[in-house]
Amino acid sequence: MKLGFVGLGIMGGPMAGHLVAAGMDVTVWNRSPEKTEPLFAAGANIAENLRDLGESCDVICTCVSRTEDVQACLSAMTPHAKPNTLFIDHSTIAPDGAVALAAQLKSNGLRFVDAPITGGSMGAQKGQLTIFCGGDAADVEQAIEVIKPYTKTAARVGPSGAGQQMKMANQIAVGGALLALCECLNYASKAGLDIKQAHELIGGGAGGSWAFTNYGLKILSHDWTPGFTVDNQRKDFAYCADAAKKIGAVIPGTELVDRLLADLQADGHGDWTTAALFEAYQAKS
């Protein structure tokens, strides 16, 4: 089986690397060609363009940014793909977009699984990602087998689009945990407490979370390198807001985090990690 991987950023690069390390026949492509070089050195094939990758692979993973980016990549590949090719999309996109893409590919004799990821850049590097899969049961079963090298947990959560709906729920939880962490440590700082001690004690109790453990360390060291950027988080929150409106769900906590991150973005810090939300609290206090 020949695998393709499109999108070699902070997440996609390590993910493709795990496939290569597992001994799979992998062909990669990235808009910035220099990002293919480490994978070529590790044993991957490099496609000159998306058409060539689409023609040569049986299963193709994409890990790009927005709905329109996925659409553009698939539009370049699908006219040349072999019948029954399976496309696995790890991007976070609009749920409606995933449903539309699945229907479009199915009408052309192709298969699609929306499989957004969570676990951060560290999870990608360690091959310990959680993956929400939407699509036909047989397609998801094959997808889960293919992506094992970078998976901690993967499960089918429903039909096409359900993977993205679960990712929306995940991002809402991520936003709430980030808000709690930054509000907590900002309060501790203003109260004259040792925030390193606060992080250790509160993080070990009922107030602890993945955000406390991972983002808390970045806050303590004022390290705003991504990780996951403010720009990307706000992109995801826009999809959350649109999806919530369509199903009649209220997400006021997510809307608040988005507004605070918008302040950072307006100050030119869209490329900072989302843990820099702490700075927004500091500025307002």
The residues annotated as belonging to the active site are 167
> What contacts 24+ positions apart, CB below 8 Å, involve 79-84?
79/54, 80/51, 80/54, 80/55, 81/54, 81/55, 81/57, 81/110, 82/55, 82/58, 83/109, 83/110, 84/109, 84/110, 84/111
Give the helix ranges, DSSP H, for the chain. 12-21, 37-42, 50-56, 67-77, 95-107, 120-126, 137-146, 162-190, 195-203, 210-221, 230-247, 252-266, 277-284
Question: Token pair for residue 246?
Answer: 């369509």
20-64: pLDDT as tens digits: 999 999 999 999 999 999 999 999 999 999 999 999 999 999 999
178 and 114 in a single domain? The answer is: no
147 and 236 in a single domain? The answer is: no
Percentage above 70 pLDDT, the chain = 100
Domain end, chosen from 142, 159, 176, is at 159
Q: How confident is the model at residue 231 (pLDDT cuts 50, 70, 90)?
A: very high
Res 12 pLDDT > 80: yes
pLDDT value of residue 153: 98
Overall average pLDDT of the 9-17 stretch: 97
Q: Are the CB atoms for 270 and 264 separated by under 8 Å?
A: yes
140 and 170 in a single domain? The answer is: no
169 and 238 in a single domain? The answer is: yes
The structure's pTM equals 0.95
Domain end, chosen from 159, 182, 212, is at 159
151-188: pLDDT as tens digits: 999 999 999 999 999 999 999 999 999 999 999 999 99
pLDDT value of residue 150: 98
Give the residue numbers spanning the domain of 208. Answer: 165-284
Spatial CB neighbours of 227, under 8 Å, sequence gap ≥ 6 = 10, 120, 121, 218, 273, 274, 275
Q: CATH number of the domain at 245, please.
A: 1.10.1040.10
Domain end, chosen from 106, 129, 159, is at 159
Residue 204: cis peptide before it, omega within 30 degrees of 0: no
Overall average pLDDT of the 96-117 stretch: 98
